[in-house]
Amino acid sequence: MASGLVQSGAEIDGFTVGECVHRGGMATLWTVTHPGIAVPLLMKIPRVSEGEDPAAIVSFEMEQMILPRLSGPHVPACFGTGDFASQAYVVIERIAGDTLYRRLPDLPLAYEEARGIVTRIARALVDLHRQNVIHHDIKPSSIMFRASGEAVLVDYGLSHHNQLPDLLQEEFRLPYGTAPYMAPERLLGVRNDPRSDLFSLGVLLYFFTTGVRPFGETETLRGMRRRLWRDPQPPRRLKADYPPWLQEIVLRCLEIEPVWRYPTSAQLAFELGHPGQVKLTARSEKLKHDPCSTVLRRRFNRDLSTPRPKLDVAAQLASSPIVAVALDTEEGSSALNEALRVTAERILKTLPSARLACINVLKLGRVTIDRTLDEQGHNKHIDRMVQLRHWAQPLRLDESRLTVHVLEAIDPAAAITEFAQVNQVDHLIIGARQDSIKRTLLGSVSAKVASEAACTVTVVRPPRLAVLAKQDTAGDADRSIGPPGVF
């Protein structure tokens, strides 16, 4: 059946065509039903008539290859595809509601609302990148939200899959995408760097908080190439009340070189989730464009304008994990905390782009009224944050790679597990104390975390020699401490 003959009431491979709900530049969208599928469905059909853009066919082939391989709440479920020999189509679930494009008349949004929206999109990108896909067309009309709150990324015709042929790269020399949101390296033919999506998300965050696109509306290739050397106007120049932490995040996303951006979408989502701990640099204070000397250096520096080999998606994510370590700040935990530090140091030494989150749980009583001050009148929360930073000092991490978090909870194991899930933690390190009757009967925090956390968990015990030294009433100060045991 030719695409141009598709009409309401037609049947294609068991799908009954309903009404046309959208006519785009590359495809049309139709409602369809199927007797064996209960959820609302859409059928996407490419425009392949005489005179249509040939890129429409290639991008549709990419979408046909990629969509069936994706899963999870952040992508539309795929229920079928058809080839070009009879009728090309993709059938996906119909997400209720409108795309984020509907919010454009409301811009600029309140900072907190925009932060919440972009945080959810960043988490969706975490899921997508972990499935080896770079979207390459992050923009308001490509983003929807489920009733449960998760962001859903749609339209994969321009996407890159790390394990599939990149037909757009092979068949076209010009970059395809939405000009205002396109990352600079895309203009150089680089399509395998997931940080390109972070640039596009930075454009969206800039736009939604200022009401102005950072690079204007230009559609010419010459105009787009300016972003290889010219930075955008700092948001604080447009809005005097723009928060420094937000400008820090936006301008880091919009860095010209991918290596200067956040290494992963998970790390960006982490920053957005903890604005009070964003490390402020000169970016946060900028009120003007970079000086002409910097712009000229970028423009005529061949190293900055020449494509270079990039890590693939999986390698980029693996080299930049979020590592969390759960610490006990109570007296008598020094040997265990030292063992935790040794373990964390070993992991971080091999991962220079990793970030570390130090966690402590301030346990609340189930029926008692908890006091915020200790017996000396010190704030418990602040004291523990100071202790966490003191613990991390020997690691000598850059402040942009370190955050400290004091969680208040009745159930420490549940609090740690929830923190790891919400913040996309890749590797959690937690200590296990010595055996006791209470822990045997009720179960240890480390055992619960290890069994329930969705990430990798390393459980560390203090070195045996350190435990013996602690129990030695003679106090053998010269006794050495061996390496921690990892379970």
* Residue of 184, 189, 194 lying closest to 161 (CA atoms): 194
Query: pLDDT exceeding 90 applies to what percent of the chain?
Result: 65
For range 236-246, the mean pLDDT: 97
Structure token digits, residue 65: 């290859």
**DSSP letters spanning 323-360:** EEEE---STT-HHHHHHHHHHHHHHHHT-TT-EEEEEE
Question: Is residue 468 over pLDDT 50?
Answer: no
Q: Residue 432 has what pLDDT?
A: 85
* Residue of 265, 59, 264 lying closest to 160 (CA atoms): 59
For range 379-400, the mean pLDDT: 92
- Cα-based distances in Å from 245 to 181, 278, 361: 22, 6, 26
- Is the pTM here over 0.85, yes or no? yes
For range 55-79, the mean pLDDT: 94
For range 52-62, the mean pLDDT: 82
Q: Residue 379 has what pLDDT?
A: 78
* Residue with more model confidence, 115 or 216: 115
Angle at the Cα of 44 from the Cα atoms of 40 and 47, rounded to 5 degrees: 160
Angle at the Cα of 358 from the Cα atoms of 352 and 361, rounded to 5 degrees: 165
Q: Which of 14-23, 50-59, 456-465 has the highest average model confidence (pLDDT)?
A: 14-23
For range 73-80, the mean pLDDT: 97
Q: Are 47 and 28 in contact (CB under 8 A)?
A: yes
Unique residue bearing structure tokens 């990793």:
354
At 433 the three-state DSSP class reads: coil
For range 209-226, the mean pLDDT: 87
Backbone angles phi, psi at 17, to 5 degrees: -80, 135
| Strand partners for 324 | 357, 428
Confidence of residue 364 (pLDDT cuts 50, 70, 90): confident
For range 287-309, the mean pLDDT: 76
- Cα-based distances in Å from 131 to 23, 127, 236, 247, 399: 29, 7, 36, 30, 30
Unique residue bearing structure tokens 């932060």:
115
Within 13 Å, how many C-alpha atoms sit on residue 469's CB side? 16
* Residue of 234, 327, 325 lying closest to 282 (CA atoms): 234
Alpha helices of 378-436 — where are they, by DSSP H?
A: 380-392, 412-422
Q: Residue 476 has what pLDDT?
A: 41
Q: How far apart are CA 83 and CA 221, in angstroms?
A: 33
Angle at the Cα of 179 from the Cα atoms of 259 and 155, rounded to 5 degrees: 90
Q: Are 45 and 6 in contact (CB under 8 A)?
A: yes
Question: Is residue 50 over pLDDT 60?
Answer: no
Unique residue bearing structure tokens 């006091």:
371
pLDDT tens-digit series, residues 130-189: 999 999 999 999 999 999 999 999 999 999 999 999 888 888 767 888 999 999 999 988
Confidence of residue 441 (pLDDT cuts 50, 70, 90): very low
**DSSP letters spanning 41-76:** EEEEEE--STTS-HHHHHHHHHHHHHGGG--STTS-
Structure token digits, residue 249: 């995040």
Task: Enter the DSSP assignment of 379.
Answer: B
Question: Is residue 368 over pLDDT 60?
Answer: no
Q: How far apart are CA 242 and CA 248, in angstroms?
A: 10
Strands 427-431 vs 322-326: parallel, antiparallel or unpaired: parallel
Angle at the Cα of 342 from the Cα atoms of 340 and 347, rounded to 5 degrees: 95
Q: How far apart are CA 487 and CA 485, in angstroms?
A: 7
Q: SS3 helix, strand, coil % of the chain, rounded to 5?
A: 40, 20, 40
Question: Is residue 475 over pLDDT 50?
Answer: no
For range 390-403, the mean pLDDT: 94
Q: Residue 137 has what pLDDT?
A: 96
For range 340-352, the mean pLDDT: 94
Q: How far apart are CA 256 and CA 199, in angstroms?
A: 9
Q: Residue 309 has what pLDDT?
A: 57
For range 238-254, the mean pLDDT: 98
Confidence of residue 288 (pLDDT cuts 50, 70, 90): very high
- Cα-based distances in Å from 226 to 131, 138, 216, 295, 296: 32, 20, 11, 10, 11
Structure token digits, residue 428: 């959690």
pLDDT tens-digit series, residues 193-204: 999 999 999 999
Q: Residue 481 has what pLDDT?
A: 33
* Residue of 302, 319, 335, 223 lying closest to 266 (CA atoms): 319
For range 360-368, the mean pLDDT: 75
Q: Residue 171 has what pLDDT?
A: 80
Question: Is residue 485 over pLDDT 50?
Answer: no
Domains and CATH numbers, the chain: 3-93 (3.30.200.20), 100-317 (1.10.510.10), 321-486 (3.40.50.620)
**Burial letters for 169-189: b for 16+ Cβ neighbours within 10 Å, e otherwise?**
eeeeeebbbbbbbbbbbbbbe
CA dihedral 211, 215, 218, 219 (to 10 degrees): -110
